[in-house]
Each structure stands twice: as C-alpha cells, then as structure tokens.
C-alpha cells in the first residue's frame, strides 16, 4: 500500500522553478542517470545553457558515468563549506554538473531543513541557466519528493517491467498529492521498439486515468541499446562516444521536442 500523505512542508511558500526538470522513476536501474546526462548533453548541443544536478544524494553517480573527478561536490555544500553555485563544474560535453558524493552518509541523511536550504539555493542557481536537470534518486523519500515538487516539469522514467511500471505509478500518485501543478511526462526506456514503448506507456496511462484522474503525456521512447552500457563502461558521454546509435537518436529527438524553457 502506497501512502500518499502530503509532505509536511507542503504548505510552505515553496517556489516552483519553471526551468527545472526532475528526472524521476520510483525504481532504480531504469536509466534515470544516463538519460539525464544524455538529455543534458543533447540540450547543450542545441545551444541551451544546462546545469545537471545530481539529486541522488547518497548514491550519486553522474560523476562516475561521465568519468569526472570533481574537486567540489554537494558534500561540501551540505557541510556549509561552499555555496551551491561554486560546486558547478563545466564538463567537456558543454554543460555544468553539480556532483553528489557517493556513500556520503551526511548527504543521504541530511535533515529536512538542510535539504530545503539546498533546494532553495538550487532554485536561485537555476536563474543562470536555460534548463536545470535534476537526476533524482530512486524511491519516494522526502528528499526525492522535495526536489521533484519544485521542478516545473517532471519526467518519470519507466521500462516495460511490472516493477518499474508499479513504481512509476507510485511516484506519479505521490507527486500528484505533493503538487499537482508540475507538468508530468513519461519516458519509456529500454524499449524493444518505439511501438512496444508506446504500448508500455499506454498501460501506465490507463492506470493513471482510472485511479488518479491523471493523464501524463508521453515524452518519448528510448530503445534498448547495448551502446549505452558500453559508453558507461568507458565513462564516456553517449552522444560523444556513439552519437548515431539508437538510444542517442531517441534522446536527441526528445530534446528537439521540448518546448523552450520558461525562465
């Protein structure tokens, strides 16, 4: 049974950041991080100023997937040693990254007030960018919900696996209770074909319409592609390493379809 109790801080005058995109899923391992990186890269290639924020606080891996060695990360920000904007690192792919720190208990267990301050600082930092992508952690913990709730758009990633679909539904249910104004869209990853991906989306949509009175749109379908794993194994950006592979082409199409940021 999924509890959809509102966040305790829901009544706060929390700012919604129109140019912030949360990449969420519920379930881990569905491809959030590699899609967030590739989408950031694709948008940057189209000339947009992009910040990718690693919101998987205790199990960060944007830096690992990109082979970065950040000198500054969120650990120092949460410890109060560094302003958030100073932790942004310009990467070769043409966008900025604020890296987390994997295995950092202090980050994973940061108190709500600290997460709130971090989210507020992120909202301010967003003013300097066209889009801020937030790669969220798995699960429905308060930190995930807090970061998702301030994003103007939320992309919910799923695959065709029943567990991924159930968790995507759970995320949408909880997000609906947290704040309904955010634009929700579904991204089907690791699909065997575009047609199969659309069917997966259809199954999720039917459940959302029947039980949540919610109709998230289909953002796009990204096909299963062995090049994704290959790029991650060599810690290279997919669009740099395999710019014409199926998954790269699909993410580029999604980037091209996004309306311009409303800052």
Ligand X SMILES: Nc1ncnc2c1ncn2[C@@H]1O[C@H](COP(=O)(O)OP(=O)(O)O)[C@@H](O)[C@H]1O
Residue ranges binding Mg ion (CB under 5 A): 32-33
Least distance (Å) from Mg ion to the CB of residue 32? 5
Between 46 and 229, whose beta carbon lies closer to ligand X?
Answer: 229
Closest separation in Å from C-beta 28 to ligand X: 4
**Closest distance of CB 238 from ligand X, Å:** 9
As a whole number of angstroms, the distance between CA 223 and CA 221 comes to 6
Closest residue by Cα to residue 17 from 158, 149, 207, 167: 149
Q: Residue 75, CB half-sphere, CA atoms under 13 Å: how many? A: 13
The half-sphere exposure of 180 on its side-chain side, counting CA atoms within 13 A, is 6
Q: Which is closer to ligand X, CB of 55 or CB of 75?
A: 55
Report the residue number, 30 or 174, with the smaller CB distance to Mg ion.
30
Count CB-CB contacts under 10 A for residue 214.
17
Binder of residue 116, out of ligand X, Mg ion, none (CB less than 5 to 8 A by kind): none
- Alpha carbon of residue 103 to chain centroid: 19
Nearer to ligand X, 126 or 188 (CB): 188
Residue 151 site contact among Mg ion, ligand X, none (CB < 5 to 8 Å, cut-off depends on kind): none
H or E element, residue 222: strand 217-223
One DSSP character per residue, 89-131 reads EE-TTSSEEE---TT-HHHHT--HHHHHHHHHHHHHHGGGSSE
- Judged by the rule CB under 6 A, the positions of this chain that interact with ligand X are 25, 28-34, 189-190, 222, 224-225, 228-229, 232, 247
Residue among 87 and 248 whose Cβ is closer to ligand X: 248
Distance of closest approach, residue 188 Cβ to ligand X, in angstroms: 10
Give the nearest residue (CB) to ligand X.
31
Supply the minimum distance, in Å, between the C-beta of residue 158 and ligand X: 10
């Amino acid at each position: 049974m999924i509890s959809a109790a509102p966040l305790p801080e829901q009544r706060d005058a929390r700012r919604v950041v129109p140019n912030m995109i949360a990449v969420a899923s519920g379930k881990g391992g569905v491809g959030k991080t590699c899609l967030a990186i590739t989408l950031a890269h694709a948008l940057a290639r189209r000339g947009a100023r992009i910040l990718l924020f690693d919101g998987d606080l205790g199990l960060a891996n944007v830096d690992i997937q990109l082979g970065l060695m950040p000198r500054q990360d969120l650990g120092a920000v949460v410890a109060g040693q560094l302003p958030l904007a100073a932790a942004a690192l310009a990467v070769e792919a043409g966008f900025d990254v604020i890296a987390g720190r994997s295995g950092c208990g202090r980050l994973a267990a940061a108190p709500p007030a600290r997460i709130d301050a971090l989210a507020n600082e992120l909202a301010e930092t967003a003013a300097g960018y066209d889009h801020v992508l937030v790669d969220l952690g798995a699960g429905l913990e308060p930190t995930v919900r807090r970061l998702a709730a301030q994003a103007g758009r939320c992309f919910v990633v799923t695959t065709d696996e029943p567990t991924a679909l159930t968790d995507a539904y759970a995320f949408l249910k909880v997000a609906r209770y947290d704040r309904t104004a955010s634009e929700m869209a579904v991204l089907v990853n690791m699909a065997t074909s575009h047609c199969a991906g659309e069917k997966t989306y259809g199954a999720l949509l039917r459940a959302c319409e029947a039980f949540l009175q919610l109709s998230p749109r289909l953002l796009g379908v990204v096909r299963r592609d062995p090049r994704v794993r290959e790029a991650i194994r060599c810690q290279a950006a997919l669009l740099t390493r395999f710019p014409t592979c199926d998954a790269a082409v699909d993410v580029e199409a999604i980037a091209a379809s996004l309306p311009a940021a409303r800052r």
